[in-house]
Structure 1
Amino acid sequence: MPDWTNHLNNLANQLWRLSPACRIPADPARLKLVAHRGAYIVGRNSPAPENTLAAFDRCLKHNIWGIELDVRLTKDGEPVVHHDPACGRLYQRPDIDIASTSFAKLRRELPQIPHLQEVTERYGKRLHLMIELKESWRQRPPLQSQLQKTLGSLEPAVDYHLLSLVPDYLEGFRQLPASALMDVATTNTKDIIRQNLALGHGAVAGSFALLNQTVIDQLKAAGKSIGTGQVNHPAIVNREAYRGIDWVFSDQPLLLDKRIINQEK
Structure 2
Amino acid sequence: MVNWTDYLNSLANQLWRFSSGCQPDVDPSGVKLVAHRGAYHRSNQQDGTSIFENTMPAFERCLVHGIWGIELDIHLTLDGEPVVHHDPACGRLFNRPDLVIAETCFADLRRALPAIPHLQEVIERYGKQLHLMIEIKESWRQRPQLPNQLKTLLHDLEPDKHFHLLSLEPDHLEGFRFLPPSALVDVALTNTQHIVQQNLTLGHGAVAGSFALLSPTILQQLKAAGKQTGTGQVNHPDILNREVNRGVDWIFSDQPLRLQCPEKSR
TM-score range, shorter chain: over 0.9
1:181 and 2:208 aligned: no
Worse overlay, 12-21 or 246-255 = 12-21
How does the TM-score come out when normalised to structure 2? 0.95
Q: Which amino acid aligns with 2:131?
A: H
Q: Which amino acid aligns with 2:258?
A: L
- Are residues 88 and 46 of structure 1, via their aligned partners in 2, closer, same or farther at CA, if it must alter by over 3 Å? farther
Partners of 2:43 and 2:142 in 1: how far apart? 33
CA-CA distance at 1:31 after TM superposition: 2.6
1:167 and 2:170 aligned: yes
Identity of matched residues, %: 66
Partners of 1:28 and 1:117 in 2: how far apart? 30
- Are residues 63 and 24 of structure 1, via their aligned partners in 2, closer, same or farther at CA, if it must alter by over 3 Å? closer
Residue 254 of structure 1, aligned match among 227, 248, 257: 257
Contact 2:32 2:68 in 1 (8 A): yes
Give the match for residue 20 of structure 2: 20
**Secondary structure, aligned partner of 1:23:** coil
Q: Which amino acid aligns with 1:154?
A: L
Partners of 1:225 and 1:190 in 2: how far apart? 16
Q: What whole-Å deviation, never above 9, does each CA across 1:154-199 have from its counterpart, x for those lacking one?
A: 1111000000000000000011000000000000000000000000
RMSD: 1.6
How does the TM-score come out when normalised to structure 1? 0.95
Q: How does 1:86-235 map to 2 (within 5 A)?
A: 86-235=89-238
Contact 1:47 1:54 in 2 (8 A): no
Q: Which amino acid aligns with 1:17?
A: R
Gaps of 5+ in 2: none
CA-CA distance at 1:26 after TM superposition: 5.1
Contact 2:78 2:104 in 1 (8 A): yes
Contact 2:35 2:69 in 1 (8 A): yes
CA-CA distance at 1:29 after TM superposition: 4.8
Contact 2:28 2:259 in 1 (8 A): no
Q: What whole-Å deviation, never above 9, does each CA across 1:127-176 have from its counterpart, x for those lacking one?
A: 00000000000000111111011111111110000000000000000110
- Are residues 145 and 252 of structure 1, via their aligned partners in 2, closer, same or farther at CA, if it must alter by over 3 Å? same
**Secondary structure, aligned partner of 2:117:** coil
Contact 2:42 2:50 in 1 (8 A): no
